[in-house]
Amino acid sequence: MLELKIYFEKYFSTIKKQLHSIDFVQLNKAISTIKKAGQLKRKIIFVGNGGSASIAGHLTVDFTNAVGIRSINFNDPGIITCFSNDYGYENWVGKALDCYANSGDILVLISSSGRSKNMLVGANKAKSLGLDIITLTGFSFDNPLRKLGNINFWVDSDKYNIVEMTHHVWLLAIVDYIIELDNNRE
Protein backbone atom coordinates (compact mmCIF):
# COMPACT_ATOMS: atom_id res chain seq x y z
CA MET A 1 0.00 0.00 0.00
CA LEU A 2 1.24 3.44 -0.94
CA GLU A 3 2.08 5.36 2.22
CA LEU A 4 0.22 8.66 2.28
CA LYS A 5 2.85 10.70 4.11
CA ILE A 6 5.73 9.48 1.94
CA TYR A 7 3.77 10.11 -1.27
CA PHE A 8 2.84 13.69 -0.39
CA GLU A 9 6.24 14.60 1.03
CA LYS A 10 7.82 13.48 -2.24
CA TYR A 11 5.11 15.21 -4.30
CA PHE A 12 5.44 18.54 -2.50
CA SER A 13 9.22 18.29 -2.61
CA THR A 14 9.02 17.87 -6.39
CA ILE A 15 6.84 20.97 -6.72
CA LYS A 16 9.19 22.97 -4.49
CA LYS A 17 12.16 21.90 -6.61
CA GLN A 18 10.39 22.97 -9.81
CA LEU A 19 9.32 26.31 -8.36
CA HIS A 20 12.92 27.05 -7.41
CA SER A 21 14.17 26.14 -10.90
CA ILE A 22 12.91 29.37 -12.46
CA ASP A 23 15.36 31.15 -14.73
CA PHE A 24 15.87 34.55 -13.10
CA VAL A 25 17.20 36.12 -16.30
CA GLN A 26 13.96 35.17 -18.08
CA LEU A 27 11.95 36.28 -15.04
CA ASN A 28 13.56 39.72 -15.08
CA LYS A 29 12.92 40.04 -18.83
CA ALA A 30 9.27 39.03 -18.37
CA ILE A 31 8.68 41.55 -15.59
CA SER A 32 10.34 44.35 -17.58
CA THR A 33 8.35 43.49 -20.70
CA ILE A 34 5.07 43.36 -18.77
CA LYS A 35 5.73 46.64 -16.94
CA LYS A 36 6.63 48.36 -20.23
CA ALA A 37 3.46 47.05 -21.90
CA GLY A 38 1.41 48.43 -19.01
CA GLN A 39 3.08 51.85 -19.26
CA LEU A 40 2.40 51.92 -23.01
CA LYS A 41 -1.25 50.87 -22.49
CA ARG A 42 -0.71 47.60 -24.34
CA LYS A 43 -2.50 44.42 -23.31
CA ILE A 44 -1.53 40.92 -22.31
CA ILE A 45 -3.21 38.04 -24.12
CA PHE A 46 -3.20 34.70 -22.26
CA VAL A 47 -3.83 31.46 -24.13
CA GLY A 48 -3.80 27.84 -23.04
CA ASN A 49 -5.55 24.52 -23.64
CA GLY A 50 -7.33 22.54 -20.92
CA GLY A 51 -5.87 23.23 -17.48
CA SER A 52 -3.62 25.87 -19.01
CA ALA A 53 -6.73 27.69 -20.26
CA SER A 54 -7.90 27.85 -16.64
CA ILE A 55 -4.55 29.35 -15.67
CA ALA A 56 -4.97 31.87 -18.52
CA GLY A 57 -8.39 32.85 -17.17
CA HIS A 58 -7.09 33.35 -13.63
CA LEU A 59 -4.12 35.44 -14.76
CA THR A 60 -6.31 37.59 -17.00
CA VAL A 61 -8.34 38.64 -13.97
CA ASP A 62 -5.31 39.22 -11.73
CA PHE A 63 -3.33 41.26 -14.25
CA THR A 64 -6.38 43.36 -15.12
CA ASN A 65 -7.76 43.88 -11.62
CA ALA A 66 -4.77 43.68 -9.27
CA VAL A 67 -1.97 44.96 -11.51
CA GLY A 68 -3.98 47.32 -13.72
CA ILE A 69 -2.75 46.01 -17.08
CA ARG A 70 -5.48 45.21 -19.60
CA SER A 71 -5.54 41.49 -20.19
CA ILE A 72 -7.69 39.13 -22.21
CA ASN A 73 -7.88 35.42 -22.92
CA PHE A 74 -9.54 33.37 -25.60
CA ASN A 75 -11.52 31.01 -23.35
CA ASP A 76 -14.90 31.96 -24.78
CA PRO A 77 -16.42 28.84 -26.36
CA GLY A 78 -17.92 30.93 -29.16
CA ILE A 79 -14.49 32.13 -30.29
CA ILE A 80 -12.90 28.70 -30.00
CA THR A 81 -15.69 26.79 -31.76
CA CYS A 82 -16.33 29.39 -34.48
CA PHE A 83 -12.69 29.83 -35.44
CA SER A 84 -11.99 26.08 -35.10
CA ASN A 85 -14.94 25.27 -37.33
CA ASP A 86 -14.13 27.93 -39.93
CA TYR A 87 -10.32 27.74 -39.98
CA GLY A 88 -9.38 24.41 -38.35
CA TYR A 89 -8.52 23.76 -34.72
CA GLU A 90 -4.80 24.26 -35.29
CA ASN A 91 -5.50 27.78 -36.67
CA TRP A 92 -8.02 29.17 -34.18
CA VAL A 93 -5.48 30.94 -31.94
CA GLY A 94 -3.85 32.61 -34.94
CA LYS A 95 -7.22 33.79 -36.20
CA ALA A 96 -8.17 35.12 -32.75
CA LEU A 97 -4.90 37.06 -32.68
CA ASP A 98 -5.74 38.55 -36.09
CA CYS A 99 -8.96 39.86 -34.56
CA TYR A 100 -7.81 40.98 -31.10
CA ALA A 101 -4.04 41.63 -31.02
CA ASN A 102 -2.22 44.88 -31.64
CA SER A 103 1.47 45.37 -32.28
CA GLY A 104 3.27 45.75 -28.95
CA ASP A 105 0.88 43.50 -27.04
CA ILE A 106 2.22 40.52 -25.12
CA LEU A 107 1.12 36.98 -25.90
CA VAL A 108 1.53 34.49 -23.05
CA LEU A 109 1.26 30.92 -24.34
CA ILE A 110 0.88 28.26 -21.66
CA SER A 111 1.40 24.69 -22.87
CA SER A 112 2.66 21.77 -20.82
CA SER A 113 4.07 19.92 -23.83
CA GLY A 114 4.95 22.91 -25.97
CA ARG A 115 3.75 20.89 -28.95
CA SER A 116 0.09 21.92 -29.38
CA LYS A 117 -0.37 22.94 -33.00
CA ASN A 118 -2.78 25.77 -32.18
CA MET A 119 -0.15 27.30 -29.86
CA LEU A 120 2.59 26.98 -32.48
CA VAL A 121 0.42 28.63 -35.14
CA GLY A 122 -0.46 31.32 -32.59
CA ALA A 123 3.21 31.98 -31.82
CA ASN A 124 4.06 32.33 -35.49
CA LYS A 125 1.09 34.66 -36.03
CA ALA A 126 2.19 36.73 -33.00
CA LYS A 127 5.65 37.13 -34.51
CA SER A 128 4.14 38.44 -37.74
CA LEU A 129 1.96 40.90 -35.78
CA GLY A 130 4.84 42.31 -33.71
CA LEU A 131 3.84 40.85 -30.34
CA ASP A 132 6.24 39.92 -27.56
CA ILE A 133 5.86 36.21 -26.83
CA ILE A 134 6.24 34.64 -23.40
CA THR A 135 6.04 30.85 -23.32
CA LEU A 136 5.52 28.55 -20.37
CA THR A 137 6.21 24.92 -21.22
CA GLY A 138 7.37 21.65 -19.72
CA PHE A 139 8.18 18.13 -20.84
CA SER A 140 10.99 18.30 -23.42
CA PHE A 141 13.57 21.09 -23.09
CA ASP A 142 13.71 21.54 -26.85
CA ASN A 143 9.95 21.63 -27.44
CA PRO A 144 8.96 23.68 -30.50
CA LEU A 145 6.96 26.36 -28.65
CA ARG A 146 9.93 27.24 -26.47
CA LYS A 147 11.94 27.96 -29.61
CA LEU A 148 9.36 30.56 -30.75
CA GLY A 149 9.19 32.71 -27.63
CA ASN A 150 11.10 35.87 -26.81
CA ILE A 151 10.95 34.92 -23.13
CA ASN A 152 10.65 31.28 -22.12
CA PHE A 153 9.94 29.47 -18.88
CA TRP A 154 10.40 25.72 -18.79
CA VAL A 155 9.53 23.12 -16.15
CA ASP A 156 11.66 19.97 -16.11
CA SER A 157 8.82 17.50 -15.69
CA ASP A 158 6.61 15.31 -17.84
CA LYS A 159 3.75 15.35 -15.32
CA TYR A 160 0.91 17.65 -16.33
CA ASN A 161 -0.08 18.69 -12.81
CA ILE A 162 3.50 19.45 -11.77
CA VAL A 163 4.04 21.55 -14.90
CA GLU A 164 0.70 23.36 -14.65
CA MET A 165 1.02 24.13 -10.93
CA THR A 166 4.52 25.47 -11.44
CA HIS A 167 3.38 27.68 -14.34
CA HIS A 168 0.48 28.97 -12.25
CA VAL A 169 2.61 29.82 -9.22
CA TRP A 170 5.32 31.47 -11.32
CA LEU A 171 2.76 33.69 -13.06
CA LEU A 172 1.01 34.59 -9.82
CA ALA A 173 4.38 35.41 -8.26
CA ILE A 174 4.96 37.90 -11.10
CA VAL A 175 1.60 39.49 -10.28
CA ASP A 176 2.51 39.79 -6.60
CA TYR A 177 5.98 41.13 -7.38
CA ILE A 178 4.61 43.89 -9.63
CA ILE A 179 2.05 44.81 -6.96
CA GLU A 180 4.86 45.05 -4.38
CA LEU A 181 6.96 47.16 -6.74
CA ASP A 182 4.07 49.56 -7.24
CA ASN A 183 3.29 49.70 -3.50
CA ASN A 184 6.90 50.49 -2.62
CA ARG A 185 6.96 53.39 -5.08
CA GLU A 186 4.05 55.16 -3.39
- CATH number for position 136: 3.40.50.10490
- 2 lies in a domain? no
Where are the alpha helices (H) located in the chain, listed in sequence order? 4-19, 24-39, 51-62, 77-87, 92-100, 117-129, 160-185
Instruction: Round to whole Å and give the CA distance between 68 and 141.
Output: 33
Taking Cα atoms as reference points, which of 45, 132, 141, 124 lies closest to residue 90? Answer: 124
Length of the chain: 186
Tell me if 89 is assigned to some domain: yes
Can you tell me the distance from the alpha carbon of 160 to that of 173, in angstroms, rounded to the nearest whole number? 20
pLDDT at residue number 182: 87
Position 77 in a domain: yes
Question: Where in the sequence is the domain holding 66, given as residue range(s)?
Answer: 24-185
Residue 46: pLDDT over 70: yes
pLDDT at 186 over 70: no
How buried is residue 184: exposed, middle or buried, by Cβ count under 10 Å (0-12/13-18/19+)?
exposed
If one counts the domains in the chain, the total is: 1
Q: State pLDDT tens for residues 99-152.
A: 999 999 999 999 999 999 999 999 999 999 999 999 999 999 999 999 999 999
Q: Quick one: pLDDT band at residue 183, thresholds 50, 70, 90?
A: confident
Average pLDDT over residues 39-53: 97
Confidence of residue 92 (pLDDT cuts 50, 70, 90): very high
